Structure 1
Amino acid sequence: MIQPRSAHPPFSRRTIARLVQVAGLFDILTVVVPHPRGRMEAVMDFVPAAGVLSAHAATVVVGMLLVYLGAGLRRGKRRAWQVAVGLTAASIALHLVKGFDLGAAGVAAILLIMLLATQDRFTTIADPAHRWRALTALAGFATAGFVLGFVEIAVRANRLDGTPGVIDWAKESALGLIGLDGPVEFRYRLGADAVAYTTGACGLLAAGVALVILLRPGSRRPQRDGDGEARLRELLQRYGGADSLGYFALRTDKALIWAPNRAAVVAYRVVNGVSLAAGDPIGPESAWPEAIGAWLADADRHGWTPAVLGCGNAAGRAYRKWGLDVVELGDEAIVDTAAFSLNGRPMRGVRQAVNRMRRAGYTCRVVRQRDLTETELAAAVRAAELFRDGPVERGFSMALSRFGDPRDADCLLVLCHDEQGVLRGLLQFVPWGADGLSLDLMRGDRTADNGLTELMVSAVLEQANHLGVRRVSLNFAVLRSVFARADELGAGPVLRLWHRLLLLASKLWQIESLYRSNAKYQPSWAPRYLCFPTARDLPRIAVAALTAEAFLPTPRLPSLRRAPAADATEVLA
């Protein structure tokens, strides 16, 4: 059995990363602090003034790059180690050239020895494609800088000393990319500075962009064979009732990593260097440690930051045993269908909305996808596409992001028609074990009467006993406890501040409205958790999660479209 280990990088690796960053800051400091005049004069007996100035500039650049490399070294990236070794070796020579600084060169030499002695700690697999992209970027920006510098020299051809030829122009432009002066002499300082700044800036840009691309974390395209898909569905049939998010592991943009005995699996997606899992591992709880261990080992091998979005209580404890920190992310609204009723004062608002819609002639049909005809399903798919708010298909942790797929025949649909028989709204619920449903898709015609959502949700809850459903999971409410406690008497200033911040965020992401829309059905609340390695990783994880959920720009996910587009009249009729 795989034994739990810390999700944090080894302490020695973190220490090395910090030492490299400190050395980078030290390099920058050696340039800022003035050198003794005698030492500079001694150096200039062997090195021209332009070389000394270039060494000062290059030392600053090397220092900044060493600071940047710290994050990659902390994650054990082999390429970060290789670049750090090269930069540290270069800094030794630069310290000697810029001022014969033996102390700084000695510090760099000690750092170089330390890096060489600990190379076995940096084994993260690099993405081969990044190497060629980095070379392409380096060549592209360097070529652009060379051409710009050459053109600037050509424009000033009548303001040059002597008659340098085209070859000299090319040498001047090429050497300018690395901050050196070439054979061309300008009559005016302004012209020389313009060429130097243009070529030098392009050279730095080429090196910087290439380095960023080279050190970018790799990604992974989900590859799911037929056997893996079949095994996943088998596990969902046997253990899917444990987690309302289990069915969403069938998303095609999620990769699967299995326990060695294939008894359990973790579904995840790599987003911006974050291996982002969602929900609980699928399988018996006794097999979770092996699957979690395999997933964390895979993330460590590729230098990805592991994170779990929206797991339950039992999974949170399992991830914590593997060294991840766990914080509450929010609550999931779960309705007990046996206890649901539109009667009573707490349900007054929902009851009034439902009755108003029924008087207006709206009716709901609750049906499994497999029971729809091809024509009916195609119309529902086109309506879902038409009703979508915006071009982006949102969702990751609690969304399937497809509709009408033959693989989802067990999904339950609620189709709402008006008195003319026009389809005005629809819901899709995915299976949650044998006796549960989890809300996936909610779409409605924005011109329909107010109360459309209440009518559709109430329809499925009222017919639940007939369908053999005893629990229904509705939307997830982020930081629900903040909204709930802020309404209570005696809420403190910190809680009120949190509440105000969430209200501001709600203008973009509808956080409060989702909570209010769930609360009206009187659900029970099940906490969901976020798991992560360290607090410093939270900004990176937050960006990855928002990107995966399509709240930040990202390539569009496959559309729900399953049939050719039609105009509104044809779709809704």
Structure 2
Amino acid sequence: MGLLPTKRDELHQSPQGGRPGRWQRYGAGYAVWYLRAVAVINLLGAVWASFGQSVRRHNVNELYTPYLLTAGFTSTLFAIFLAVTMRRGKRAAWILNLLLNGLFVVALALAMTFPEIREHRQNWVSLVLSAAFLLALLAGRKAFRAKGGRSNPVLALGVAVCGTAVCVLIGTFLVSVTNTGYGSTLGDRVAYTGLRVVTLASGDTSSAAITTPDWVNVVINVMSAFLFLLVLYAAFRAPGGRELLGPQDESRLRELLAQHGGRDSLGYFALRRDKSVIWSPTGKAAIAYRVVGGVTLASGDPIGDPEAWPGAIEPWLAEARMHGWTPAVMGASEEGGTIYARHGLDALEIGDEAIVETAEFTLEGRAMRTVRQAYNRVRRAGYTVRIRRHEDIPEQEMAELLERADRWRGCETERGFSMALGRLGDAADGRCVMVECHDADGDAADGAPRALLSFVPWGETGLSLDLMRRDRDSDNGLIEFMVIELLQRAGEIGVEQISLNFAMFRSVFERGSRLGAGPVLRLWRSLLTFFSRWWQIESLYRANAKYRPIWEPRYVLFRTSSELPRIGLAAARAEGFLEAPSLPALLRRRHRSPAPVAAPAGSR
């Protein structure tokens, strides 16, 4: 694993990108750390019985505790949620804290006019801490400018109403089937349940008409707490990205790729139509990205003139601050990662891209003996390969290829984001290359189709692998046979270099198997080998290594290491490895792509 040199930004920076004042930074930082401390204390109050009882006694008697200090798991989650949203600079979270804490400070200050209240030192401590938190909020107000989605209030209201109805319905059912009291009506049971859903009332109260087991009240309270946090999430969730890639943006991106597309093998994938694009002021550079789970996820290097890259990176980061998004880049090259690092992002090497120079490739030599034997075995079996540009394939044949590609796909979920185009057979992608493999048993002159590969252009003389599909009933080794045929016949289509699969953690497998590898490296390699049973991490490396490629490192860019888990989840969702649960149809935000996608494609 490797790190690029970085330049760290300040912890808090205004969405407009200017450097905040000292008192503004101190105020914002104090507010966030105050909420974190409150979360820890509330958690201790929930797991430490005597401490929790002391806090609750202060809350119900003549004593007062600081804002949010209520001792419990729900209040812990609430404080953590507020701390996270405040850390992301959410304006809505700042307003909520200001209102709640302001009301608490005013109420406590008025209560201090009574002698029986102000005679307790704890109340003075509470007043000082809460007032300091209020002053910190006011001092750091300019640091909290991140905007939420416009539909958030309506969505939060819908979640609250629908969720409350569901909780009351389920709770009423549980109360009805477990009630051991007599004389209660349906209205009584609904009111009993509704009180606990709305107020999080404890389960130690009952009536002669309604007597339920303690676990029923616990279940109702848990549902209520979950609903409360879900409403908060809906109210504070980050907005989606700007409009998806439209015809005008796509045309401008193609112009940049025509001039600078040879710099990055992933450049053509910026034309995915589920991405948004942000431009430099001069229009000479652009960043294609997608917002997933509050992460603005870019892939590869910026498109265009490297001298204009900072002009695109700065507005992209400013937009992230404005909306409270977490900026991240997947698969940047060393050149791109260095430029991103100058703007405050850290870089971590996550793997290597396999690039084969067609003029240097050969099957001769002892090192290629196994590959040569496998290639000859498939060739003797009668398989043949056809190589064509997409624009040279008749419409009817392309339709048949699309049908086979869908049928041969191994899973229902379409995978790919940073290294997949997401469509196949689109008329705008005529310069893409199709590699088809046929056997010798079909009725057609070329035999029956058994596998296909599709490559996107990489500048004028390069190709980058987009998708691989093969008939599950065909012989093993077809993909390797097709790749070797393409490498040997690349001159037919004017190709000099080909980018193959991306191998994650390639250096770990290579160095971890060498003599003298340290215990940490060997342990890391063992873990990756174990997970390769499901995610094919090692097999991708082995599949690439047989072509003896040039390994080009690729990096993930991020602000702080604490954001890596969130970035990893967002990347997994974008690539199709994870699927987030969808909201009901009436509450789901709909995006329309400005141009239809002809057919889905697979991942590299």
TM bucket normalised to smaller: 0.7 to 0.9
- Which whole-Å CA distance do the structure 2 matches of 1:423 and 1:37 have between them? 73
Aligned to 1:72: 85
Match of 1:390 among 411, 414, 418: 411
Aligned in 2, Cα 1:209/1:252: closer, same or farther, shift over 3 Å?
Answer: same
Contact between 2:45 and 2:55, CA under 8 Å: does it hold in 1?
no
Contact between 1:20 and 1:66, CA under 8 Å: does it hold in 2?
yes
Contact between 1:141 and 1:202, CA under 8 Å: does it hold in 2?
no
Match for 1:212: what amino acid? Answer: Y
Match of 1:43 among 62, 85, 90: 62
Aligned in 2, Cα 1:172/1:181: closer, same or farther, shift over 3 Å?
Answer: farther
Contact between 2:149 and 2:239, CA under 8 Å: does it hold in 1?
yes
Q: How does 1:398-477 map to 2 (within 5 A)?
A: 398-420=419-441, 421-477=447-503
- Which whole-Å CA distance do the structure 2 matches of 1:28 and 1:361 have between them? 68
Aligned to 2:9: 6
Aligned positions, number: 548
Name the SS for the 2:454 alignment partner: strand
Structure 1 window deviating more from structure 2 (133-142 vs 371-380): it is 133-142
CA-based RMSD of the aligned residues comes to: 3.6
- In the alignment, does 2:391 pair up with 1:376? no
- In the alignment, does 2:161 pair up with 1:139? yes
- In the alignment, does 2:25 pair up with 1:22? no
- Which whole-Å CA distance do the structure 1 matches of 2:351 and 2:59 have between them? 62
Aligned to 2:588: none
- In the alignment, does 2:271 pair up with 1:250? yes
Name the SS for the 2:303 alignment partner: coil
Structure 1 window deviating more from structure 2 (463-472 vs 284-293): it is 463-472
Name the SS for the 2:199 alignment partner: coil
Structure 1 residues 237-267: Cα deviation after superposition (integer angstroms, max 9, x where no partner): 0000000000000111111011111110001
- Which whole-Å CA distance do the structure 2 matches of 1:159 and 1:117 have between them? 55
Match of 1:529 among 555, 565, 568: 555
- Which whole-Å CA distance do the structure 2 matches of 1:222 and 1:484 have between them? 43
Contact between 1:253 and 1:269, CA under 8 Å: does it hold in 2?
yes
Structure 1 window deviating more from structure 2 (239-248 vs 487-496): it is 487-496
Q: How does 1:120-139 map to 2 (within 5 A)?
A: 120-139=142-161
**By how many angstroms is 1:18 displaced?**
1.4
Give the TM-score of the pair, scaled to structure 2.
0.82
Gaps of 5+ in 1: 564-573
**By how many angstroms is 1:88 displaced?**
3.0
Match of 1:356 among 377, 398, 412: 377
Contact between 2:462 and 2:496, CA under 8 Å: does it hold in 1?
yes
Aligned to 1:571: none
Match for 2:371: what amino acid? Answer: V
Contact between 2:337 and 2:555, CA under 8 Å: does it hold in 1?
yes
**By how many angstroms is 1:271 displaced?**
1.0
- Which whole-Å CA distance do the structure 1 matches of 2:580 and 2:169 have between them? 34
Aligned to 1:302: 323
- Which whole-Å CA distance do the structure 2 matches of 1:540 and 1:82 have between them? 25
Name the SS for the 1:9 alignment partner: coil
Name the SS for the 2:146 alignment partner: coil
- Which whole-Å CA distance do the structure 2 matches of 1:20 and 1:418 have between them? 66
Q: How does 1:89-488 map to 2 (within 5 A)?
A: 89=102, 101-102=122-123, 103-146=125-168, 159=181, 173-176=193-196, 177-179=198-200, 186-187=207-208, 190-191=211-212, 197=218, 200-220=221-241, 222-420=243-441, 421-488=447-514
Structure 1 residues 150-188: Cα deviation after superposition (integer angstroms, max 9, x where no partner): 67788899947xx99988777655443314599x97238
Name the SS for the 1:43 alignment partner: coil
**By how many angstroms is 1:376 displaced?**
1.5
**By how many angstroms is 1:548 displaced?**
1.1
Aligned in 2, Cα 1:433/1:166: closer, same or farther, shift over 3 Å?
Answer: closer
**By how many angstroms is 1:118 displaced?**
2.3
Aligned to 2:18: none
Contact between 1:62 and 1:91, CA under 8 Å: does it hold in 2?
no
Structure 1 residues 25-83: Cα deviation after superposition (integer angstroms, max 9, x where no partner): 44666782655999899639xx9xxxx9xx99688744541222111111101112123
**By how many angstroms is 1:143 displaced?**
3.1
Contact between 1:66 and 1:87, CA under 8 Å: does it hold in 2?
no
- In the alignment, does 2:580 pair up with 1:550? no
Aligned to 1:566: none
Give the TM-score of the pair, scaled to structure 1.
0.86
Structure 1 window deviating more from structure 2 (199-208 vs 463-472): it is 199-208
- Which whole-Å CA distance do the structure 1 matches of 2:190 and 2:379 have between them? 80
- In the alignment, does 2:531 pair up with 1:505? yes
- Which whole-Å CA distance do the structure 2 matches of 1:179 and 1:111 have between them? 26
Contact between 1:334 and 1:524, CA under 8 Å: does it hold in 2?
yes
